[in-house]
Structure 1
Amino acid sequence: MIRRLLSGDPPRSTVLAVLLVLIVAALAAAPFLFPGPKSLAVAAKILVFVILVASYDLLLGYTGIVSFAHTMFFGIGAYGVAIASVRLEPGWTAVFSGVAGGLAVSLAFALLIGLASLRVRAIFYAMITLAVAAAFQTLVSQLSDLTGGEDGLNFKVPQMLRPAFRPLSEPLFGVTIDGRIITYYLIAAVSVVLFLMLLRIVNSPFGRVLQAIRENPFRAEAIGYRTVLYRSLSNLLAAAFATLAGAMYALWLRYNGPDTSLSFEIMLNILLMLVIGGMGTMYGAVVGASLFVFAQSYLQDGLHVIHDAVADVAPLALLFEPDRWLLWLGILFVVSVYYFPSGIAGQLRERARGR
């Protein structure tokens, strides 16, 4: 049953399986194990970025397409929900209309970019997508009447997703169930479904063709596969999943702006998460997103504790200064790449296959 649910592609490594179970269990019980707004926000961000990174893995890890426009589709999904919720009566109709509109715009952009650019060499395609993403971010900032410009858009969500909504009069396991908890579990349920869909796609005959194109596009073309068509379909699918991730993120934040979903920093973070987790594994998205978002959110707090403990030792206190958390994040990334050159999930699967 579990094997069928995982589309015939289990983790294949006991260590990886245990790590995935621990991550899933922690995310499933996060509102009760780690009560508090910050921990819940971190868990929700992990869920969203698992889907965002997994969708980029479909593009880069399985098809071999290097694109810097992935955050554009993420932002389109977020802006779709935000604009619809502002322009229409706040409710589920606005949310679904925003998601549908975001998907339509994303697929149109992905199709145009794919048909116009996928025949060129990889480096030129990457530069084209970078230029398109930068132009789109500038356009969004200038269309202030529609997008709110640099200030972004604040909007209302459906009644049952608002913090004031209380379906239960008494706390459950010591936690008050409100609209934020419901929103979190809604995002969790959608993320599980989307991840299983991506896992099914990459393990289907279509996914096998994508991997063949990644390994040798000329050979794939020679045996009869239209590589441009398959690469375009991969581009469309990745854009659709990124759009849905953006819609979930906007629904959680109840806000969206250029820096929230369109910044190039997010694109760099996606690449880091994918490299840390492991490209071409899908499971690497879960591991990479969880570790990176957790470190990004709590590393500075951890350094603050260490800094206070070694405050009397000047060199150590200087080294563990909380403001240097980005330096330590970079060190952790270098160490992870050194010991896991194929990513954590990829390296664990290779070791299990070797044994």
Structure 2
Amino acid sequence: MNAAVPSSSTPAASSAGGHRRAGPLNAGRITIWALFALALIVAPYVFTSSLALTMLSQIGYLIIICLSYNILLGQGGMLSFGHAVYTGLGSFITIHAMNMAGKGELPIPLVLMPVVGGLAGAFFAIVLGFVTTKKSGTTFAMITLGIGELVASMALMFPEFFGGEGGITTDRVYGQGFMGITFGPAIQVYYLIAVYCFVCTALMFAFTGTPLGRILNAVRDNPERVEFIGYNTQRVRYFAFIISGFFAGVGGALAAINFEIVTGADSVSIMRSGSYLLFTFLGGAGFFFGPIIGAVLLVFASVLLSELSKAWLLYLGLVFLLM
């Protein structure tokens, strides 16, 4: 009986080797977050070209998506091949909501559309995650792969919702502008993405220090011991899956707002999920801020490297093998 007493501290202790956790504010942490906010604010003034602004906007929402994926991979040890399902479905729900709002059928301003996408991502994570998180390890990965392929196939079977191969378009400029902000210019869209990027990053960092975040690290490291002290590991994975789906939906919604179009099967494809996996891993899945580096690398690879060589995917694969 006495052997079980020290084990009550296991979740906190077991997470020490994985991620840096949220803790009390100190000068160093305040400085890091202030520099992060400052970088988001001044970036468009340092990189002034239209291409740079487009890349910065893509980096902003991809940071959210890669960090949300790292809740599964880095913090929970869950290798998912279907994360694009929740970003893509969040994008589709958002773009339909934007079209309805443009017609006056839905009184939701554009600034709240990413929340709509987040709720959509969380909803589909609730529905699909209940089955997915029943298993862990390789079985979990194969289930996510199957669900990803299933949704990708549905994208071609239901053109009314997914728009077929042409996708669905929208106009982000609708309703009354606020203090001259219509979100027509790309710079205004960038700052909308930047605000959500900062807030979502802060919330996901705070999640790592919550009891759920701590026990999720313990489930990753030693699920048998976690069950021994009385926790339901499937429920822990399920709750983390829902939180990950919410932030993935927010990122997908911001992508829909940025491009004003969501394409069909491509948005939920296994290739899209694979890119999130690859660059989250390359950035550093074992460190909270690693996926931010991965998001930057993803944009540079897809925009710049693809312009330099037609065989850029070959070089990318070699880099992944080296890592």
Moved more, 111-120 or 131-140: 111-120
Q: What's the secondary structure of 1:61's corresponding residue?
A: helix
Residue 109 (structure 1) aligns with: 124
Q: d(CA) in 2 for partners of 1:214 and 1:284?
A: 18
Residue 291 (structure 1) aligns with: 297
Residue 330 (structure 1) aligns with: 317
Residue 215 (structure 1) aligns with: 221
Q: d(CA) in 2 for partners of 1:201 and 1:121?
A: 21
- Aligned-pair CA distance for 1:253: 0.5
| Match status 1:234 vs 2:234 | no
Q: d(CA) in 1 for partners of 2:159 and 2:200?
A: 32
**TM-score, normalisation: structure 2:** 0.81
Aligned-residue Cα RMSD (Å) equals 3.3
Q: d(CA) in 1 for partners of 2:158 and 2:111?
A: 23
Q: What's the secondary structure of 2:102's corresponding residue?
A: coil
Runs of at least 5 residues in structure 2 that lack an aligned partner in the other structure? 1-20
Structure with larger Rg: 1
Tell me if structure 2 keeps the 8 A contact 1:67–1:130: yes
Residue 79 (structure 2) aligns with: 66
Are the structure 2 counterparts of residues 238 and 121 from structure 1 closer, same or farther at C-alpha, using a change threshold of 3 Å?
A: closer
| Match status 1:127 vs 2:142 | yes
- Aligned-pair CA distance for 1:38: 1.7
Residue 80 (structure 1) aligns with: 93
Moved more, 128-137 or 195-204: 128-137
- Report how many residues are paired: 299
Residue 156 (structure 1) aligns with: 171
Question: What letter corresponds to residue 157 of structure 2 in structure 1?
Answer: Q
Q: d(CA) in 2 for partners of 1:9 and 1:137?
A: 43
- Aligned-pair CA distance for 1:135: 1.2
- Aligned-pair CA distance for 1:58: 0.6
**What's the % identity of the aligned pairs?**
29
Q: d(CA) in 1 for partners of 2:281 and 2:201?
A: 18
Deviations 1:259-316 (A, max 9, x none): 5521222111111111111113220011111123223322245x4xxxxxxxxxxxxx
| Match status 1:43 vs 2:49 | no
- Aligned-pair CA distance for 1:324: 2.9
- Aligned-pair CA distance for 1:107: 2.9
- Aligned-pair CA distance for 1:102: 4.2
Q: What's the secondary structure of 1:29's corresponding residue?
A: helix
Are the structure 2 counterparts of residues 21 and 141 from structure 1 closer, same or farther at C-alpha, using a change threshold of 3 Å?
A: farther
Q: d(CA) in 1 for partners of 2:92 and 2:296?
A: 25
Tell me if structure 1 keeps the 8 A contact 2:101–2:174: no
Are the structure 2 counterparts of residues 284 and 97 from structure 1 closer, same or farther at C-alpha, using a change threshold of 3 Å?
A: closer
Q: d(CA) in 1 for partners of 2:24 and 2:86?
A: 28
Are the structure 2 counterparts of residues 159 and 112 from structure 1 closer, same or farther at C-alpha, using a change threshold of 3 Å?
A: closer
- Aligned-pair CA distance for 1:29: 2.6
Runs of at least 5 residues in structure 1 that lack an aligned partner in the other structure? 1-5, 169-176, 304-321, 338-355
